[in-house]
Structure 1
Amino acid sequence: MRVHLGSDHAGLELKDHLVAWLREHGHEPVDHGPFVYDALDDYPVFCLRAAQGVAADRAAGGDALGVVIGGSGNGEQMAANKVIGVRCALVWSEETAVLAREHNDANVVSVGGRMHSLEDMTRFVEVFLGTDFTGDERHVRRIGQLASYETTRELPPLPASAQGHDSSDA
């Protein structure tokens, strides 16, 4: 599988480790940088490119996922989620990695390089890459609502149980 990677300076060591680890495990890593340590670099430069690579590959029918890495993983997740067609999940455990794929069909994972050991983060990525989307109707429906909003900017209709309780209707 092709795996697009991007990080900032705080994720550089893990990104470099993952590029080698991915090759050793039969994946095709695509490294979007950074390639040298620069404490003043900007994560959007690299994470947007990684996410865009995933979206482009998937739109072309390819089997691709992505990994973005920073100090906490928060900003990197936010950047990746700006790319249309990307669903990036911040993971901090094996369980969150599994649920990101099974329930949300996440195609990019974000990890915090300063939050966990190299071994733990590698395991989170391994679990993410090895887990499939369940395809359950409720998950497909929810992802469809997100995808629709992403392109139309129209909110999904409220269920009958919530009618009259949405402040945006006022």
Structure 2
Amino acid sequence: MRVHLGSDHAGLELKEHLLNWLADAGYEAVDHGPFVYDALDDYPVFCLRAAEGVVADEGDGVEALGVVVGGSGNGEQIAANKVIGVRAALVWSEETARLAREHNAANVVSVGGRMHTLEDMTRFVEVFLTTPYSREERHARRIAMLTDYEKSHNLPPLPDSALGRGPAGS
């Protein structure tokens, strides 16, 4: 599996660690930067490229996921989610990493380099990379709604229960 990585200065150390860890674990890592420490760098430059790499590989039939890293992971997740076809999840535990893949088919994980230990963050990434999407109907339906909205910008219809009809509104 190919893993695309991007970060900012706050995530540089973790990204470097992950590059080595991924290689040792048999993954093909693609580093989208940064490549040197610059306290004034801008995470969108690197995280957008990592996210684009995931989508391009998926389009070519290559199994790929992405990892974006920053101080909190928030901005990096937001940046990655601007790329059409990306479902980036901010994770802070093994459970959130697992659920991001199982329920949301997330293809990019975001972690906060200043929020957790190196060991914990590595474990979150490991869980994310090794957890398959469940393909359960309810999750597939929800992802299809998001994909449809991404393409059409049309909101999904409200369910009858939200309109005061049906079992929930009875």
TM-score computed with the length of structure 1 as normaliser: 0.96
1:120 partner letter: D
Question: What is aligned with 1:60?
Answer: 60
Question: What is aligned with 1:129?
Answer: 129
Alpha-carbon separation, structure 2, partners of 1:9 and 1:47: 12
CA offsets, 1:9-35, max 9 Å, x none? 000000000000000000000000000
Deviation at 1:163, TM superposition (A): 1.7
Please identify runs of 4+ aligned residues in structure 1 that moved more than 6 A: none
Superposed, 1:1-170 pairs within 5 Å as 1-163=1-163
Alpha-carbon separation, structure 2, partners of 1:130 and 1:139: 18
Paired residue secondary structure (2:47): helix
1:85 partner letter: G
Deviation at 1:47, TM superposition (A): 0.0
For structure 1, list consecutive stretches of 5 or more residues without a partner in the other structure. Answer: 165-170
Alpha-carbon separation, structure 2, partners of 1:146 and 1:116: 30
Alpha-carbon separation, structure 1, partners of 2:150 and 2:71: 27
For structure 2, list consecutive stretches of 5 or more residues without a partner in the other structure. Answer: 165-170
2:51 partner letter: A
Question: What is aligned with 2:167?
Answer: none
> How many residues are paired up?
165
Say what the alpha-carbon RMSD is for the aligned residues: 1.0
TM-score computed with the length of structure 2 as normaliser: 0.96
Alpha-carbon separation, structure 2, partners of 1:152 and 1:11: 35
CA offsets, 1:16-73, max 9 Å, x none? 0000000000000000000000000000000000000000000111100000000000
Alpha-carbon separation, structure 2, partners of 1:48 and 1:7: 10
Alpha-carbon separation, structure 1, partners of 2:27 and 2:85: 22
State, as a whole percentage, how many aligned pairs show the same letter.
77
